[in-house]
A and B are shown apart, each in its own frame.
Chain A
Amino acid sequence: MNNIGNVGRSPNTAVDASAAGKAAEPGRFSQFMGRVADGALTAAAVVAPLVPGGQLIQAAVGGLRELRSASPQNMGAPGDQMDKMWAMQRENQVFNLQYMQLQEAVQSDNRRFSTMSNLMKVRHDTAKAAINNMHV
């Protein structure tokens, strides 16, 4: 009678899967920022022996490199957060669309119920009036 039944299922598996895939792989922004950071660290490592206190800078650069390599791929970088946010927003749009479809289905069912209910009432009233006005 309606398409409410579809709502009980998983929202949209295709969209979920694509969103999850996009969230798992690093975004372009994060890749770009990663390359910039790598370049900066390399430059600092090259320049470090030439400046006073260079050993300290070299140690710091080394530490930062280790920290970067040890950190999980999909955490920390602001670009990844943005990608996640976009994925969530897309998911939200899908849910909104489904919610709207559900609302339309419910409204349509309500209209149908009210029409049928009215028919039953009129049907009963007509029969009642016909019986009461019965004459030979």
Chain B
Amino acid sequence: MNASTDHDAAHLACAQAALKRAYLLLGYGHFEQAIAACEEAIAHCPNHPLAPALQGAILCASGRTSEALQHLARVMRRFPDEIVARIYFCEACFLGGRTQRGFKELDKLDDELSDDDPWTPFVDSLRESFEGLDPKQIPPALVVPQMPIEQTSA
């Protein structure tokens, strides 16, 4: 393993840690901090598609749907083969009221993915959730409201 590989591996580990932190923060409704953690991950691995894709998902979950749509569309243009970005784009379409576009993208994904693909359950679940659901009944965000972080004295 040479120095360059070690350097890349270190950046990758940092990006992974930042993304895990982002998801933890998202779970507690700390959207801004979660997005900042994604930025950190992007800074560590600027050419990796996952961090910007997850950033789009977090934007979507925080209710900033139109921003998420634009962001994910950019990610899809830059990384056309990135499945995660495309799935989150579908979700953003549904949450943003663009149901037809969402189903169109889902159909494309269905054609490309095989049954044993790891993304297939997510695609199926998206279809199941949004099929037959009135756009008026779509929840504003699929996350719990922000919970306060207790300050513990040392």
Name A's B-contacting residues (CB within 8 A): 1, 112, 115-116, 118-120, 122-132, 134-136
In the complex, how many angstroms separate the beta carbon of B45 from the nearest chain A beta carbon?
7
B118 touches A126 (CB 8 A): yes
A129 partner residues in chain B, CB cutoff 8 A? 118
How many A-B contacts at CB < 8 Å in the complex? 63
A124 partner residues in chain B, CB cutoff 8 A? 23
Q: With A123-B142, A124-B23, A136-B45 given, is the CB distance from A130 to B129 under 8 Å? A: no
Q: Which of A130, A132, A136 contacts B8, CB < 8 Å?
A: A136
Give 23 pairs: A residue, B residue, CB < 8 Å, sorted on A. A112-B133, A112-B137, A115-B129, A119-B125, A119-B126, A119-B128, A120-B142, A122-B121, A122-B122, A123-B125, A123-B142, A124-B23, A127-B84, A128-B23, A129-B118, A131-B16, A131-B20, A131-B23, A132-B16, A134-B16, A134-B48, A134-B50, A136-B9
Name the prevailing secondary structure of the B interface residues. Answer: helix
Q: Which residue of B lies closest to A122 (CB)?
A: B125
B129 partner residues in chain A, CB cutoff 8 A? 115-116, 118-119
In the complex, how many angstroms separate the beta carbon of A72 from the nearest chain B beta carbon?
53
Q: With A1-B137, A115-B128, A119-B142 given, is the CB distance from A131 to B122 under 8 Å? A: no
Name B's A-contacting residues (CB within 8 A): 8-9, 12, 15-16, 19-20, 23, 45, 48, 50, 54, 57, 84, 87, 91, 118-119, 121-122, 125-126, 128-129, 133, 137, 139, 142
- 4 shortest interchain CB distances as A-B pairs: A122-B125, A119-B129, A126-B122, A119-B125
Q: Which of B15, B118, B119, B142 contacts A134, CB < 8 Å?
A: B15
Most chain A C-beta atoms within 10 Å of own C-beta, residue among B45, B48, B50, B91: B50
Name the prevailing secondary structure of the A interface residues. Answer: helix
Q: With A116-B139, A119-B142, A124-B23 given, is the CB distance from A136 to B48 under 8 Å? A: yes
B57 partner residues in chain A, CB cutoff 8 A? 123, 127
Q: Which of B12, B87, B118, B142 contacts A116, CB < 8 Å?
A: B142
Q: Which of B119, B128, B137 contacts A126, CB < 8 Å?
A: B119
B139 partner residues in chain A, CB cutoff 8 A? 116
Most chain A C-beta atoms within 10 Å of own C-beta, residue among B12, B125, B126, B142: B125
A115 to B126, CA, bound (A): 9
Q: Which residue of A lies closest to B51 (CB)?
A: A134
Q: Which of B45, B50, B121, B142 contacts A130, CB < 8 Å?
A: B50
A136 partner residues in chain B, CB cutoff 8 A? 8-9, 12, 45, 48
